Every structure is written in structure tokens, then in C-alpha cells.
Structure 1
Amino acid sequence: MSSPEQTTAIVDAATDPARSPRSLREAWLALAGLSAVFLFEMLDNSILNVALPTIGRELHASTTALQWVTGAYAVVFGGLMLAFGAVADRFGRRRTMLIGLALLGVASLATAFVSTAEQLIAVRAATGVAAAMTTPGSMALAFRLFGADGLRVRAITLISTVGLVGLAIGPTAGGLVLAVAPWQVLLLVNVPVAVLAMIGIRFGIAADAADELHRDPVDVAGAVLGTAAIVLALVAPTLFVDAGTGSWVPWAVTAAAVPAAVLFVLRERSARHPLLDLRLVARPLVSSGLAFKAATGLATAGLGYLVTLQLQLDWGWSPALAAVGMLPQVVVLIAGGSLVSPFVERVGLERAAAISAAAVVGGLAVYSLLGRFGYVWVALALVLVAAGMRVVGVAAGTNVLRGLPKERTTIGAALVDTASEVTSGIGIAVTGTVLAALFTGDLAASHWTARQTAEFQQAATVAGLTLTVVAALLVGWGIIRGRSAPITADDSDSSAGRDDSPGAEADAPRAAQHAG
């Protein structure tokens, strides 16, 4: 229960944009709302996956339809983040967030009236639109809420921890709910989450100040090309897994994604008011942070896919035992939150991002080379990847926002999320393609022959090492890029509240912790 003084402080901070909260406690209402947004993103698909068999039976849905129940959300979410990030930076981050939360509530309520698989897919697509409007804004609003990097790191760590707890308990909670209630309840839970988020953001965060927005016209052509390129890149991996490398469809979609991406870049370089100013992406902090996130997306997607297949199909573990086998990763992801801020304070944001991304790549390398020799190596790989993920999400994301002008923070957060979404899809596509090329027979068969086991182990090694090399190159490039240029006056002037004086980066987190 908050005291009158704390409530007054929150209202003052919300109505006076010039005043930043001096501690996380002072901004508790805003952080509760932002945490609810991230909880929705992490909980949504994980809790729904448990209900897919039930949904298939009750709605008489085909396998393809069930895949699109989750796929429609992911594709729409990933495809629209950049566009809505640009819109939020122009018309208001809080305003865009509140509209997205209202859409989330309405779409979730519509679940109660769904009677066909097609209707549910439409609801999931609308939910994806709401997620694209809200998720990047959660990081951007947390960043602009505080003036010191130390508090920013602690706030983003708190928000991500809430989301990861939701991700961890989602499947278990979903299974318990299904035992006593219809599957629609799993999506209706988004309604109270949306209401909580709206209250926290409406009353805990000030409306955007005019100097924190920009009024350039929206680049509609750039938005269409960018969305098309991302959607095609996200659809292709699913098609490769479902249709196989022998089908022309996934190859055609992949081929279409390349010219769409090229046309997007050409458009953004020539447009007077581009959707995404590529000169900003080229800034050292921004490009290095995105490289670290891309490397992490590749490695984690590939590892997760391979470990799931190995535990259940190669080693014959039951789904329940396989879930227990993933516990080291879950424990580190949740418990590691308390170590993020001290680690960042000790080594600095840039080093923290580089070290944590390298740990993720190292975990994939351990699995690729040694995972076949026993579970202890798989567990070690999971721990390394989880520890790296826990830090890189906060450090690299914060660095991207620090490297951007204050009126471009939402599209920066959208870039971070898009980099993870697209490279995760690529990681799965690469892994699935290698498996299809080297594994003979039915991968989902309950009993493999000795030859198939050897083929899977070879495919896991080839796919894992391929992703390891690419991810390591990204990390190396990110490290070089982060050190490639000294801080210029332009960087200092356009960064949100950044002090580029010698020692300022090391001192800011310590001063912020004192204030907290």
C-alpha cells in the first residue's frame, strides 16, 4: 500500500516531464503498467500452446490452421513493429500504447465469441497488431521515464523479469486452467492484464513532451516495403519446417523477401522523410547493440529447436521429463535478474552487452561440440545461453536507445525486437534446412534407427556450428563497431540525457543506485 507522499510523487512525475523519478519505488505505478505489457507478450503464446490440441478438437481445426493460430500473431507482431515504432515517435508513445492496450482488451474479449478456427486466427492477428503497438513502447517508455542509466537498467531488468516469470509459468498455469475451465479463459486473461497496464501507464507516465516527438510525415512506402520484407522473412522459416526444402513455396517466399528488403533500404536512403533513418542505425552504439541482439536471436532459436528434438526424439524423454530438463535455463532466466545491475555497474553497458552476447554464442558452441555426450553438456549450454540472454536483452537494448535521439526511442526499441524476431526465424530455418538435408526418414517417428540417430547428431553439429560461426561474426562486428569511433558532439547532443564525459558511464549507474 503506497503512502500519500508516494502517490503525490507519482502524480508529480507524471504531470511534470522535466522531473525524473529518483528511484524505482517512486515510479511503481508506471513500472506496474509497463511490466503488465511485457507479461502479456511473454505469456500470450506460451500459455496458448498448451491449449492447441483442445482448440483443434473443439474447432475442428486442421494442423495448418492450428499452426496459424500462433503463427498469425507472430508474423503480424514482427511485421508491424517498425511501422508502429515510427508512428509512436511521431504521435506519442503513451498514446499509441494506450490505443494498443484498448485493442488488446477488445480482441481478447472477442475470443469468447469464436466458433471457427478462421475466427480465432483473425483474433490472433488483431492481438498481434496490439502487441506491435505496445511491446516496443514498454522499453522506450521505461527508458525515458528515468534520466540515469543505472535506473534505466534496473527498470528494464524488472520489467523483463516479470515477463520471464510469465513465460516460465505459462505452460503450467495453462494446463491447470484447462483442467477446470474452457480454453477461451487462457486468452480472456489478457483483459485484466490490459486494464492494469492502461491504469499504470495513464496515471504513472506523463504524456510525451513536444520536443520528444518529431513531426516528419509518415513514410508510407517505406512502411509497406519494410513490413513486407519482415513478414516474408518471418513466414519463410515456418514454410521450410512445414513444407520442407523440396517444396518451391518456402524458396519463393525467401526469394521475395530479398528484393523487398533491398527496395526498403533504397527507399529509406532516398526518401526525404524516411521511416527509418539509416544514418541512425549506423551509429556505433545502435549498430553494435543490434548486432548483439541478432547474434543472440540466432543462437537461442537454434539451440532451443535442437535441444527440444534431442531430448524428446533422440533420447526418448517424455514431454514432462523434457520440461524438467529445460529447468536450468528457466532458473537462470528468472533468478539471474538480481545480478544484471551489479554486473552492468561493474563492467559498463558496452562491455556487458558484448560479454553476454559472447556467452550466448559460447553456449551454442558447447552444445554443438559436446551436447551428444550427455545431459551435463546440454545443461551447461542452457545455463550459458540463459545467463547471456538475461544481460544482453537489457544492456544491448539500453545501448541502442542511448545511441538514438530522444525523439526516436520507440523505433529504436522496435528495431531491437525486430532484430530478435527475424534472426530467431532465420536460426530455425537454417536448423530445419540442415536437418532436412542430412536426416532421412520421418523426424517425428517415435523410434529412430541407429543410422537416424547418427544423422541427427551430425545435423545438430553442422547446424549448431554454422549458427555459432555466424553469431560469433556478429558479436565480433558488434564489438568492433562499438569501439570504431569516438563519441562526437553530434552523438552527445542527440542522445537522450547522455553524459559522454570521461568516466560518466561508469559513475552514472553508481549514482543512480544511491538515488534508488
Structure 2
Amino acid sequence: MSFDQTTVIAGRPRSLREAWVALAGLSAVFLFEMLDNSILNVALPTIGRELHASTTALQWVIGAYAVVFGGLMLAFGAIADRFGRRRIMLAGLALLAFASLATVFVTTVEQLIAVRVAMGVAAAMTTPGSLALSFRLFEDDGLRVRATTLISTVGLVGLAVGPTAGGFVLAIAPWQVLLLVNVPVAVLAIIGVRRGISPDVPDELHRDPIDVAGAVLGTATIVLALVAPTLFVNEGAGSWSPWAVSVLAVIGAVLFYLRERSATYPLLDPRIVAHPLVSSGLAFKAAAGLATAGLGYLVTLQLQLDWGWSPALAAIGMLPQVVVLVAGGALIRPFVERVGLERAAWMSAAAVVFGLAVFGALSRYGYVWVAIALVLVAAGMRVVGVVAGVNVLRGLPKNRTTIGAALTDTATEVTSGAGIAITGTILATLFTGPITTPTWTPHQTTQFHQATTAAGLTLTALAAALVAWGIARSRA
């Protein structure tokens, strides 16, 4: 069956095949998000040499994108629900293409950071819209799950192959090519969105004024929450600055909540967030983000620093997770059909928590336990990433879809940063001396094992509390 655009305009597509042009464009958007940082990481040493960049500057080449992206998602989600999801998506894709082309003219690391900031803005304009628009394409929840699974699978393939592909590119071409690849991705996405998705229906948008004060408070709070983990890792828990930034983030969150409760037209109405499907879905996504980031950080340290594996061998050691993330999409549909959307959400979140508990309690006894933990967490994350996101959007009004998608992504971003900060703080507290020293003493090895267990089980307890709260909300 060929794609018939009148089908999408006059009524909802009845299959993924009818919507293949739109799904191709939306998949390209998610591919950009997943591919971008993973493919650039491998080029950081080359960039540092050619642009004479310091270690801190190189961190901001990656960090500037993540902070801007995470900080602006809520604001752009609200703007998209007000002025049009398709319109904001296309504007963001155009910005992505121009920012990527600007890489050709970069001669200093400061210019590269500016380019990365622009790309972070583009990501904030486009990424939440990919979930919102795919959700709005279909009326049937089963098709929504399948569409979201397809889009996320494309992105995860990009995440998996990004570092390897980047390494091959660097062998034959300058590092700028790694960012220029975003140009054809953006063009593909623009074509897919323009041809496959009809203009927004006015009834599915709202006409409320934008809550500027709420947008400023929300953005500032999220930016502070994303900067704090980096400060904890770089400066340690003994420094005052990460704690000061964390306190400011908490103050910002309180002020944001008070503003949204009192505003006539809030950016994010607390009553909407309190809907059982929305609050439970956010709790499950937050638990998955916390556990996944913490596990990834701990496994990397254990394989390379504790067991002395080379980076290449450590990458092979992570393959169980990569395989499950990429191939596990085929299992989502039958699993959801068997247990239902609500049960699938909490069961997959529980699998993430259980996998983290396995690592915290048993990883010191051999790689087989690490592999089991990686498989459990990846399997749970693969399902919860799709199902919890769909559940959140199911619980929202049609004119608040994009900010709901932005909220799920923001919850994952913030808790991922918290997972790394908690892990880094526990390691810094229990491990004496530089953790990257080539040879550890037996006492340091014992300290590392104790810190790994403490960090793993601490994150397990926090993630389990989020899952338990999510289950209680889903039954409300």
C-alpha cells in the first residue's frame, strides 16, 4: 500500500505502512538526538589537539548541548502546544541544519561550543515533538506503541553504532564530518514531516498565553539540576559549588511549583501532572533514568579500572546491553498485548530496579553477574521507555501533548544526572586516592567494591521507591 497523504489529513492512518513517510521523518529526528553525542565523544581527543582545547572546554563541548537541550525542552514543549507542533519541529530542524553547516567555519573551541548550544536548542525544539506527533498520528494505542517502538529503535541503533562509525570516519576524514552528518538527517526529517504530517488541527492546540515566568523558572531549575552532577563529579563532594548549585535547583523547583499553582495560565498545570497515568509514567521513567545512568557509570569503572580491561574489551563487555536495546523492540508489542499498557509499565520499571540490585550485590563475583544486570536493565528500559511515555500522553489533554513528551524526557535527563552524581559522591567518599591511578592497593580494591555495592544498592532503593510510588499512582 503506498502512502496516501489524504488518508492522514482526512483521518488517522490505519497502519504504520500508511504513515511511513511521517515515521521516517520522526525517526530521523530521534536518530539525531541519539547519534549526536555518542558519535562526537570519540572525536574529543582530535578536537582537543586541533583546537588547542583544555579538558574543561572539551567537557563543555558535550555538556553545553546536554544542558541547553534539557533546560529548554519544557519551554519549547509549551510553545509547540500553543503555536503548532509541526511548525516548531520544522523550525528546529532548519536550525539544526544551519548549525551543523556552521561547523565548517569553526576555528576555536569557543565557536564549537556556540555551535553545540545552537544544536541543543534545535534538539529541544524537535525531540519532544517526535513523540507527540507520532502519538497524534494514530487513534489506536497499539499503533501508538508500535510507532514509538519503531522510532526509538532507529535512535538506539544510532546510539549503538555511533562510536564505531565515528572512529572509522576519523580515520579518513576531518572531525567536522561527524557534525555535518546532521545535515542530511535534518533534510530527511524535514521532507518526512512536511509530506507525511498535516498541519496542526486548531482544536488540538490551545490559545492560552505562554507562562513566561514559569518558563524562566522551569528552565533555570532544570539547567541547575543538570549542571550540579557535573560539578559533583569534577570538583568532588567536598567542594561548596556543587552543593550550592543543588540548593539553588531545589529553591528553583519550589518557586516553579508555587508559580504553576498560582498562575492563571500555567506552563505546566500541577493538576494535569497529578493524573495517575501521567504521574506514574513519569515515576517509571525517572526510575529507569536513575538506574541506567548509575549502572553505566559503575560498569565502566569496574571493567576498566577494577578488572583492568582495555577500552575495546570493555566495549565488548557492554554488548549484552546493546543487543537487548536494539533487538528488544520486537518483544515490546507481544509483551504489551499480553499484560496491558499499565502493567507493562510497572513490570519493566521493576526489571530495571532488579537488574541494578543484581549488580550492586553480586558484580564483584564475576562478569556473568554484570552481564545479567546489563540485560535486565536494558530489557526493562527498552519497554518502559516506550510504554511509560505513551501512558503519559494518554493521560494528557490533546492540547498538552508536546509538553507531556518534554516532561518525560526532562525527567529522564535530570534523574540520569542525579544517578551519576550520587554514584560519584559515594565513590569519592569511600575510595581514598585518585581512582584513575594505574595500580590499586588491595585496600583500595576493597574500598572500590564497598563503594560499588553502596552506590548500586543506594540507587536501587531510590529507584524502587519511585517504582512503588508509580504503582500506587497507577492504581489511583
2:24 alignment partner in structure 1: 32
2:196 alignment partner in structure 1: 204
Secondary structure (helix, strand or coil) at the match of 2:438 reads coil
1:289 alignment partner in structure 2: 281
State yes or no: 1:344 paired with 2:336. yes
Which of 88, 95, 113 pairs up with 1:96? 88
Which of 8, 12, 18 pairs up with 2:6? 12
Distance in 2 (alpha carbons) for counterparts of 1:412 and 1:15: 24
Equivalent residues in 2 for 1:252-331, closer than 5 Å: 252-331=244-323
Contact 2:68–2:223 under 8 Å retained in 1? yes
2:442 alignment partner in structure 1: 450
Deviations 1:94-143 (A, max 9, x none): 00000000000000000110000111001001100000000000000000
Contact 1:363–1:384 under 8 Å retained in 2? yes
1:70 alignment partner in structure 2: 62
Distance in 1 (alpha carbons) for counterparts of 2:230 and 2:8: 43
Displaced runs of 4 or more, over 6 A: none
Which of 418, 422, 436 pairs up with 1:430? 422
Name stretches of at least 5 consecutive residues in structure 2 with no aligned partner. none
1:412 alignment partner in structure 2: 404
1:136 alignment partner in structure 2: 128
1:80 Cα offset (Å) = 0.3
CA RMSD in angstroms comes to 0.6
Contact 1:14–1:203 under 8 Å retained in 2? no
2:457 alignment partner in structure 1: 465
1:60 Cα offset (Å) = 0.2
Which of 440, 444, 456 pairs up with 2:432? 440
State yes or no: 1:49 paired with 2:41. yes
1:167 alignment partner in structure 2: 159
Secondary structure (helix, strand or coil) at the match of 1:316 reads coil
State yes or no: 1:121 paired with 2:113. yes
Name stretches of at least 5 consecutive residues in structure 1 with no aligned partner. 485-516
1:255 Cα offset (Å) = 1.2
Bigger drift between 271-280 and 446-455 goes to: 446-455
1:507 alignment partner in structure 2: none
Distance in 1 (alpha carbons) for counterparts of 2:462 and 2:248: 23
Distance in 1 (alpha carbons) for counterparts of 2:111 and 2:7: 43
Equivalent residues in 2 for 1:170-185, closer than 5 Å: 170-185=162-177
Secondary structure (helix, strand or coil) at the match of 1:6 reads coil
Secondary structure (helix, strand or coil) at the match of 2:2 reads helix
1:13 Cα offset (Å) = 3.0
Letter in 1 for 2:62: T
Distance in 2 (alpha carbons) for counterparts of 1:130 and 1:453: 44
Contact 1:329–1:382 under 8 Å retained in 2? yes
TM-score normalized by the length of structure 2: 0.99
Letter in 1 for 2:456: G
Distance in 1 (alpha carbons) for counterparts of 2:306 and 2:468: 33
Contact 1:164–1:334 under 8 Å retained in 2? yes
1:189 alignment partner in structure 2: 181
Distance in 2 (alpha carbons) for counterparts of 1:181 and 1:453: 41
Letter in 2 for 1:79: G
Which of 453, 464, 471 pairs up with 1:479? 471
1:248 Cα offset (Å) = 1.3
Distance in 2 (alpha carbons) for counterparts of 1:159 and 1:95: 20
2:101 alignment partner in structure 1: 109
Equivalent residues in 2 for 1:218-257, closer than 5 Å: 218-257=210-249
1:490 alignment partner in structure 2: none
2:149 alignment partner in structure 1: 157
1:14 Cα offset (Å) = 4.0
TM-score normalized by the length of structure 1: 0.92
Letter in 2 for 1:215: R
Deviations 1:389-420 (A, max 9, x none): 11000100000000000111000000100000
Letter in 1 for 2:146: R
Distance in 2 (alpha carbons) for counterparts of 1:251 and 1:478: 28
